[in-house]
Amino acid sequence: MRGRGHGGTGEMDEDRPFEDRRAAGRALAARLQQYAARRDVLVLALPRGGVPVAVEVARALGAPLDLFLVRKLGTPGHQELAMGAIASGGVRVLNDDVVRWYGITPDRIDAVAREEERELERRETAYREGREPAPVEGRTVILIDDGLATGSTMRAAVQAVRRRKPARVVVAVPVGAPQTCDELSAEADEVVCTRTPERFTAVGQWYVDFEQTTDEDVRRLLREHVRPAPPRQ
């Protein structure tokens, strides 16, 4: 399922950027209300940019929030272009078209992956501050980022989460390239893209404030998030 985000806000919203990631999270939460007040739901944020979005979603749904670490593998000489991604648990996903087009050798891929693995481990330690990862098995997991361009990092996240035996995997983002949102439907049980503008070039294009989320921002947001009391049965 791909959500196009028209809802009750009007079609003009499709071409209007979000004020910031927190505002985008509130808009995304409105599309996920079927998961509110459910004991089986777990919201997983992809740091760093996905964390401010996920905080708003978790708060609106009354769901616990945790992180899921994924690192993009930048193409040598074209760092912003993803040739793939890695995720916790040793998962590696490659963009075969990019690898072929740029003639990237397995050795170069391995070198980039080793460097990103070190950063992934650093962030895992820095962000969790001693907290254990939330259990995933048997739960409905909502994976959240601030947007989808190529989808490499999210694809790696979905595959890695699948290894932990969730009941259901939902990919949810405020904005995404239409083709990427469609393609991820083959990987996840459900894909919710609040906006899928046809004139999509980059995620940052759809935010007024797209300032980088820092490590300290991530730690602060996680400390601030308090799970609301579950509804009475």
Domain membership flag for residue 15: yes
Q: What is the CATH number of the domain that holds 208?
A: 3.40.50.2020
Q: For the residues 78-85, what does the mean pLDDT come to?
A: 86
Domain membership flag for residue 82: no
Inter-CA distances, 43 with 79, 98, 144, 162, 189, Å: 29, 31, 7, 15, 15
Residue 16 gets which letter from DSSP?
A: S
Domain carrying residue 167: 11-69+137-224
Q: Evaluate whether 163 touches 91 at the Cβ level (below 8 Å).
A: yes
Is the pLDDT at 87 greater than 50, yes or no? Answer: yes
pLDDT-above-70 percentage for the chain: 91
Domain membership flag for residue 45: yes
The C-alpha atoms of residue 14 and residue 78 are separated, in whole angstroms, by 30
Domain membership flag for residue 163: yes
pLDDT at 13: 67
Domain membership flag for residue 75: no
Residue 208 gets which letter from DSSP?
A: S
Q: What's the distance, Cα to Cα, between the start and end of the chain in Å? A: 30
- Pairing label, strands 41-45, 140-144: parallel
pLDDT greater at residue 92 or residue 211: 211
Q: For the residues 140-149, what does the mean pLDDT come to?
A: 97
Domain membership flag for residue 117: no
Domain membership flag for residue 233: no
Is the pLDDT at 226 greater than 60, yes or no? Answer: no
Q: Evaluate whether 231 touches 211 at the Cβ level (below 8 Å).
A: no
Number of domains in the chain: 1
Q: What is the pLDDT of residues 202-224, one digit of tens each?
A: 999 999 999 999 999 999 999 88
Residue located via tokens 């895992």? 124
Q: For the residues 171-197, what does the mean pLDDT come to?
A: 96
Domain membership flag for residue 105: no
